[in-house]
Every structure is written in C-alpha cells, then in structure tokens.
Structure 1
Amino acid sequence: MNAMKLVAVALIVAGALGLAYGRFSYTKETQQAQIGPLELTVSDQQTINIPVWAGAAAIAAGLLLLVIPKSA
C-alpha cells in the first residue's frame, strides 16, 4: 500500500469518527502558582467540537484520493 492510499484511508477514518462523535475532550493542566516547594496546578477540561462539514470534507477528500488515478 503506497503513502497516498494510507493518507486516503486515514482521512476517511478521521472523517467518519468526526461525524460519529462530533467532539472530543482532553484535560489540560496549568501551573497557577509556585511558592517555595508548594505548587498550585489547575486541571481544565477542554472540549473541541468538530463541525459536520469538516468530517464530510475529510471523507470526500479521502475518497477522491482513492478514486483519482495516480499520474505518471
């Protein structure tokens, strides 16, 4: 399998996951203060929404990469 097909499959899978889940969350730790040996950190939950058009565009781009023949 060449690199172009791998990229196409990755785009299709990423687009399908984006359409299925619609968002993903991660935890971000930030250091708020450090006073001597004491350290204050805050954990923030960040959520990123994935637009429907982005998932559909990724699937379409992946399909185009699979369908269009490689030139030369």
Structure 2
Amino acid sequence: MNTKNLGIGLIILGIIMTVYTGFNYVTTEKVVEIGPIKINKEKNHPVQWTPIIGVLIIVGGIVIIGGSRKKQ
C-alpha cells in the first residue's frame, strides 16, 4: 500500500511540474545605509525546469504503481 501512495504522489508532482515550469523568488539586498536613509535592491531569482522532467516523474509513478500491482 505504501508504494501505491508513493506512485500516486509522484504522478501528482509530475503533473504539477509539467503545468508549472518554474517559479521566481525575490531577495532584498541592502545597497546603502547612511543614517536614516536606507536603499535596498530587490533581486529576482528565477528557477526553471523543462516539462520533460515532469513527464519522466509521471512515468516513474506509473511504473511504481504497476510494479506494486504485480506483487499482489
């Protein structure tokens, strides 16, 4: 039963990774601080991956589910 849950989880993760091919996160860096004057810079960090990785994860989940059914 545990491997079936793992397979289903991988399929769901693969679908999400196929639909959303990346995300961005923002960090704030202090540039200048002179007394009460503060200048900050927001820096964007994109994280991207190819949808093929999501498809491979989906296939892996299907293989795990198929393998767990053969043992039963």
Please give the range of the TM-score, normalised by the shorter of the 2 chains.
0.5 to 0.7
Q: Which residue matches 1:18?
A: 17
Question: What SS does structure 1 have at the residue aligned with 2:46?
Answer: strand
Change in Cα spacing, 1:26 to 1:7, as seen in structure 2 (3 Å) is farther
Name the structure with the higher helix share.
Answer: 2
User: Residues 18 and 34 from structure 1, CA distance in 2 versus in 1: closer, same or farther, beyond 3 angstroms?
Assistant: same
Structure 2 unaligned blocks of 5 or more: none
Q: Identify unmatched segments of 5+ residues in structure 1.
A: none
Q: Percent of aligned pairs with the same residue?
A: 19
TM-score for both structures, normalised by structure 1? 0.66
CA deviation digits over 1:15-70, x for unaligned, max 9? 1111112111222344567789x876543221111212101100000111111137
Q: Give structure 1 regions of 4+ aligned residues with deviation exceeding 4 angstroms.
A: 30-36, 38-41
Q: How many residues align?
A: 70
Counterparts in 2 of 1:6 and 1:69: CA distance versus 1, 3 Å: closer
Does the Cα contact within 8 Å between 2:32 and 2:39 map onto a contact in 1?
yes
**Which protein is bigger by CA-based radius of gyration?**
2
Inter-partner Cα distance in structure 1 for 2:33 and 2:68: 58
